[in-house]
Structure 1
């Protein structure tokens, strides 16, 4: 009898970690809207089938010379066509509310985006994204295409996400124009950050990396950095933005977050530019239904 009890206790102890892991991770299972995880680090990269997500980020510049400018609203709308395909419309600067030289156009950019799940395991998630972007959208309409790979590794309460992308200009490649480009650090189905401006519609490489930690079931914190720059003259023109965010999830359908970003904290020094002064903040809300 004692031997039987000892054996049963040993089996129970051995199965407890596996049961906890199975309950903790949903990446290897199809996720439905009703079972969408509250924890940010447990969510897949693509939305559940039939799920709609809207994210409203309000951004503001915090540089000493132009504190409070620009102020912009960059909404994103995504829909889960299936567990493996999410499509949507996104903005980088979007609607500028402050005017001034930071916002030469009231409506500066828009892009059509898609994300395809390529692999989903117990601790890994891999997706491929394709997007068509317009920036500026008028005078002239400058189009570009983007391909990106999103990979996430998860262990315990933490996740590490890397999302390298390559953008290729299609129209007005040699025109002197100002484009809005993403400065986006990946989380799960959303991102945080700011935006950046570039001259000319040429090839751009971005490699953002985000470390997120689930501090509690409803609170996640993240730190991120990215290596961004044009392929032409990359060694002289690259930027390394650095950011941090906190995301509170009151329920599985709501997220409220704040973020702070240095737009070019570790890039090459440029004459007359204080890299630490180029910074901005965002407050954002995400709702799913």
Structure 2
């Protein structure tokens, strides 16, 4: 349906839900380059790139991913998590033509019988006061659900001395948990980079994280500590350079490791004085086997 595959840019970015994840990445990359208020979209692209693999992202759509989350709340949807964290809205149409706007968190518990998702609306976020980061911890680089994923949006005051509001979202805790609500409230009006405040935030977060345990998921203790570590990593990542409360040797803990494609080679030395030991001797059947001439029964 062509109307569900379009996108438009005004005060907000509106994207039809039949857009594939690959197309969404292209749209977000273009918008991030053109408008500073949508610079956070570059972070969204990095996270979407961790979803499944190229063929899945080429065919899978926004609506498909979100509807899986709607029908199976235990699904640790990365797309749902990052959209909820940045304050995106979903436009829903009922069979009678009535439309309404809801958050992704409201959507996952909504009865979608005789309803249709039309689009996703992404808001502008002033980079002078808003900071967004997201993380996904998974067993391998692709084709894996997250053990725990996290998406964090902080709105600072004008001089970044205190937090005005926070959106701290986690996946992989339990089917009903998204926002660390108590921690969000705790941070309001406080200096995030004060050690006392940060320790208090960690304790508050620890108290409200109660992961379930459904095999074959990782243990609750591991996932809880992982979620706490992601919040710590986030704070290290966004901390201003030269902040006296953060030691320089810890600052690198906030960076995300870039792991390029690995390569390897083997080298065997040969010593003529020991021949035939260490001498390169081709396997007799080697050429026939590698050329396909060998017949096997």
Name the TM-score, length of structure 2 as normaliser: 0.27
Q: Which structure would you say has the larger RCO, counting Cα contacts within 8 Å and 6 or more residues apart?
A: 1
- Relative to its length, the structure with more helix (as a share) is 2
- Relative to its length, the structure with more strand (as a share) is 1
Name the TM-score, length of structure 1 as normaliser: 0.27
